[in-house]
């Protein structure tokens, strides 16, 4: 089963890329398969 996690904001400069990268890193470290 595939799970999609989305990080969204209407404004720019709110840290979406940083949050996405950190979340992906933590999930990968926990053994999950990750695609960004």
Q: What is the pLDDT of residues 4-36, one digit of tens each?
A: 999 999 999 999 999 999 999 999 999 999 999
What pLDDT is recorded for position 16? 96
**Count of beta carbons in the 10 Å neighbourhood of residue 20:** 14
DSSP designation for 19: H
What pLDDT is recorded for position 1? 86
Q: d(Cα 17, Cα 15) in Å, to the nearest integer?
A: 6
What pLDDT is recorded for position 3? 93
Q: d(Cα 33, Cα 1) in Å, to the nearest integer?
A: 12
Q: Are 36 and 24 in contact (CB under 8 A)?
A: yes
- pTM for the predicted model, two decimal places: 0.80
What pLDDT is recorded for position 34? 96
Q: d(Cα 20, Cα 7) in Å, to the nearest integer?
A: 7
The encoded tokens of residue 25 equal 């890193």
């Amino acid at each position: 089963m595939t799970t999609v996690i989305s990080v969204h904001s209407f404004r720019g400069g709110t840290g979406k890329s940083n949050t996405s990268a950190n979340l992906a890193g933590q999930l990968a470290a926990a053994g999950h398969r990750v695609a960004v």
